[in-house]
Each structure stands twice: as structure tokens, then as C-alpha cells.
Copies of this chain bind each other. A is one copy, B any other.
């Protein structure tokens, strides 16, 4: 009997995670036409893995080919994503038994988990546990994270687009501030995502091509924040260029451990959350020099900005979705797909794979050789790495002046089991 596939989005969504879903569903449809006995439908978990627990499955076969194609250019998570941890078997046995029950009932034999490093660990754990419970699955991890902090892959789908967004935004705001600096704003700060790694702030550095171009200062979590050195650099910058443009990663640290601020709304104590890193450094500057500053918090705008997605990123996200199905069909399991760089310029890449068990919790921070000696900018080596990831434009269609994104109908597979509350 044909085995159906379960696809779940996990963790923070990106501008291109739906491109992966698009590739995966398209590939599964093609294979189903050729081998209806071996692969059935793709069921997506509503709100990710939670949908498997609650038997809340979306039957993607009821969407038209045209709407599935539109997923390629629609941001967010089309079926809902979640930050949900299954927990260990010892304490959460009922959860795993429920998964077995749901997967058996709906003939699910393929499990595609589209997430970051935590999700890859979860997928590996799930694969082992379900086999232990007598329902082995074909498990394929597909990387996704704007933070670019997954080890073992050249980059992660989602990052190239946020990188293009922050570099473009920094360039544009730089033109603005440069025009206003004489009588108004002297300092502009863009707070970028990146709790533990400075990849996104680094990407803003691509906006600076010539000496003096903004951004003038990048602040990375990898570099201990030294207020005096920073202030001296800001002052020098204003003296030389008339203004100073800064990109700060939200996870900036003033010692080896603690975050200064961060856009962690509703999570951290209010004194840390009230302004975040951007506000913190802005107030430092204002207090010392009296410069008027402006702060932009791109927040979700940066990771949802499908209108400005990187062509490279979209192509990779889509190709990974296709490859996930192909490899599962070839009998591969317990792997995470990776992107492998074959050359920088021209940028050539291919899809690789690594065992899922080797992926979990290996954080990929910026290497020292990507950060300039003074700690305030990126090196040529970093540019060489980042540059191809932001290249290419792949704009969505527009209708009435706005991007015309798809909202799927998301028809549910009829429930056949009693309710379960996770």
C-alpha cells in the first residue's frame, strides 16, 4: 500500500520555507503519478508537529497545482509552524505512542521535518523512538533558519533572503541618513536578528562597498562589546563622514555570557526588553555625544520579506524540498539535507546529506577570520562567503500594488481517532 508523507514546519518561519514545501509537494505529486503504489499523499501538520499529535492533518492533495506553485513565492509557514518540544520518551511516552497511532491510522511512512538545529535533534530522536515503538519511518530533515547557525551546511534556506533584506535596508537607510546628518540625525542603528551568531548583522556589511559607505560599524555577539572602544569609533565616524550607520545583532554581549537587550518581547525581564540592543547603544551614544539617533527594529519584517527574497535562497529552498522527496524515495533515512558550496565565483552548489544524529546542537557562529581585526566589520573572506547568497531577484507577482501571496484552503484530513491533548 502507498505510504503517505507527513511534512511539518518547525520553529521560526522564513521568507522561503514555503518554497521548500512547494518543491516537496511538487516532487511528491510527480512521484505519485509514476508510482502510485509507493507514495501517496502529502499531509502537512497543522502548526507543525502539534498537528501530528492532535491528528490535525492538512491534505495538501486537495490544493490545485497552481496554488502549490504559488507557495514558492509566499512567506510565512503555509500550514502553521510551532516551537514545540516532544520531550524524552521516559516522561512523554504517551506523546510518542500517540504519534505512532496517528501515523499508522493515516498510513504515514515518510516524515519530513523542516526546521533548525533543535528540530533536527528532535527528528533524530523521533526516528529512533518510533522505530523502538514498532513504527519505523523514513525521516528526512530539511534545514531552515534565518540565523544561518546550522553547522554542516554551507548556508540555511531563509538566511540569504534576510541577508539581502538587511543589506538593502542598510544601504537605503544609509542614503537617507547621509542626506540628513548636517542638521538632524547623526546616528542610525539597525537592530538585526541573531541571538547567538552575527550572520545577519554581518550581511548588512555587504551594503558597504567603498571606504566610508554605510554601515560603518557592525556589532556581533561573537565580539565582546566594549563601550569605550565603540564610542570612540562612532565619534571618529561622525567626524569623518558626518554620520554613523550601525547594524547591531540583537544578541550583543558585554561579557562572554549575557545579552545586553534584544528584541525578546514578552520573554525577558522588562529592563532588558524595554529597548533592546539598538536602544541601548543609541542611548549610550546620545548620552556621550548628544547626537540625535534613529533606530530601526526590522523584527519579523526581515524574515518575512519575500518581496525582496534572494534568488539563490529561493532556488535552494525549493531544490531541498524536491531532494527530500527524491532521497526518501531512494530509501535514504535519518539524514539532514545540506547545501554544499562547490565554488564561490561563479557560485556553484549541490545538495548533500549528513546523518541526522550528527547535526543536533552544533551551533555555527561566525569564524574569527570573517570578523575584521578591530571587531567592527567583516573581512573579505566573509564577503566572499556571503556575496552569492544574496544574489538574484525573484519577486512575487503583485496585485493592487501588493505582493499577491497565496493562502491555501488547508482542508483537513477527517479525524479517525479520539481527541488527544498534548
Residues on A close to B: CB < 8 A? 9, 12-13, 15, 47, 50, 74-84, 164, 167-169, 171-180, 182-185, 188, 190, 206-207, 263, 265-267, 270, 274-275, 279, 282-283, 286, 290-301, 303-308, 310, 387, 390-393, 395, 398, 400-403, 405
Can you name 27 A-B residue pairings with CB atoms under 8 Å? A9-B179, A12-B180, A74-B175, A75-B175, A75-B176, A77-B176, A79-B179, A80-B179, A82-B180, A164-B401, A168-B307, A171-B402, A172-B300, A172-B301, A172-B306, A190-B301, A265-B286, A265-B292, A265-B293, A266-B282, A274-B279, A295-B299, A296-B299, A301-B301, A390-B400, A393-B398, A395-B395
- Contact across chains for A266 and B279 when beta carbons are under 8 A apart: no
Q: Which residue of B lies closest to A210 (CB)?
A: B407
- The minimal Cβ–Cβ distance linking A325 to chain B, given in whole angstroms, is 22
Contact A294 B299, CB 8 Å, known A387-B400, A390-B401, A401-B164? yes
- Contact across chains for B401 and A183 when beta carbons are under 8 A apart: no
6 shortest interchain CB distances as A-B pairs: A76-B175, A77-B179, A266-B292, A390-B401, A172-B304, A296-B299
What number of copies of this chain does the assembly contain? 2
- The minimal Cβ–Cβ distance linking A44 to chain B, given in whole angstroms, is 12
- Other-chain residue from B12, B13, B176 in contact with A304 (beta carbon distance below 8 A): B176
Given contacts A12-B184, A82-B182, 14 further A-B contacts (CB under 8 A): A15-B172, A76-B176, A82-B180, A164-B401, A169-B301, A172-B305, A173-B301, A206-B402, A266-B291, A266-B292, A294-B300, A298-B301, A390-B400, A391-B401
**SS class, residues of chain A in contact with chain B:** mixed
CA distance A310 to B74 in the complex (A): 20
- The minimal Cβ–Cβ distance linking A161 to chain B, given in whole angstroms, is 11
- The minimal Cβ–Cβ distance linking A3 to chain B, given in whole angstroms, is 27
